[in-house]
Every structure is written in C-alpha cells, then in structure tokens.
C-alpha cells in the first residue's frame, strides 16, 4: 500500500506582493493498493480552495499479462458547501487494452 500527500499554492499579484488577484491552494491525496500481482486499486482525491471543489478519481486495474489490461474507473466532481457536499458531475469508464501484431 502506498499513500502520498501533496499540496500546491498558486497566487498572482498585479504588482510585486501587492494587489492580490488570486490565491489558490490544491491538496492532493493518492492511495494505491496492490491486491495481487495482477489486480490493483488507486484513488486520487483533489481539493481546490478557491472553488471548494472536491474531486475523486478511483481506478481498478487488472493486468492479465503485460500486454492485456482492463481498467474500470470514474471521475467524480463535487462542490463542498458548509452544510453538505453535493455531486456536480461524474463519469464512469471501462477500458480494455490488447496488443497484437499484424
């Protein structure tokens, strides 16, 4: 199991260190768990302070062999309000990758 935390801060001023235009922080958490040699799960969580947007990116992957892979994942975007978290939009995807010679 791997767990990784990171954060970034972006800011812009009209003049050096005066008249701030924006100041945004991003907090990111990534968790990777390897169930078996072939099956793994990863989830990435992002939080943006300016928009109060909380995003989740889960991904389940299965490697049949080095050239055949299955992925099942999602992109889930939410908005954080003081009293609740509301889903903004989401996408679910399935990917199959196979390598063959012609």
Segment 81-100, tens digit of pLDDT: 878 888 888 999 999 999 88
E-assigned strands of the chain? 2-15, 18-34, 39-48, 53-65, 68-80, 85-98
Pairing of strands 2-15, 68-80: unpaired
| Degrees, nearest 5: CA angle 13-18-23 | 45
Q: Quote the tokens at residue 66.
A: 């080095």
pLDDT band at 38 (very low <50, low <70, confident <90, very high): very high
What is the C-alpha to C-alpha distance for residues 21 and 13, in angstroms, rounded to an integer? 5
The answer on pLDDT for 14 being more than 80 is yes
């Amino acid at each position: 199991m791997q767990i990784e935390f990171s954060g970034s801060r972006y800011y812009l001023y009209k003049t050096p260190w005066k008249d701030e235009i924006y100041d945004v922080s991003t907090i990111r958490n990534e968790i990777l768990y390897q169930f078996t040699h072939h099956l793994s799960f990863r989830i990435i969580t992002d939080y943006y302070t300016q928009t109060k947007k909380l995003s989740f990116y889960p991904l389940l992957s299965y490697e049949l062999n080095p050239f055949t892979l299955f992925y099942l994942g999602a992109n889930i975007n939410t908005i954080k309000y003081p009293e609740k978290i509301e889903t903004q939009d989401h996408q679910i995807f399935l990917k199959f990758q196979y390598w063959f010679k012609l």
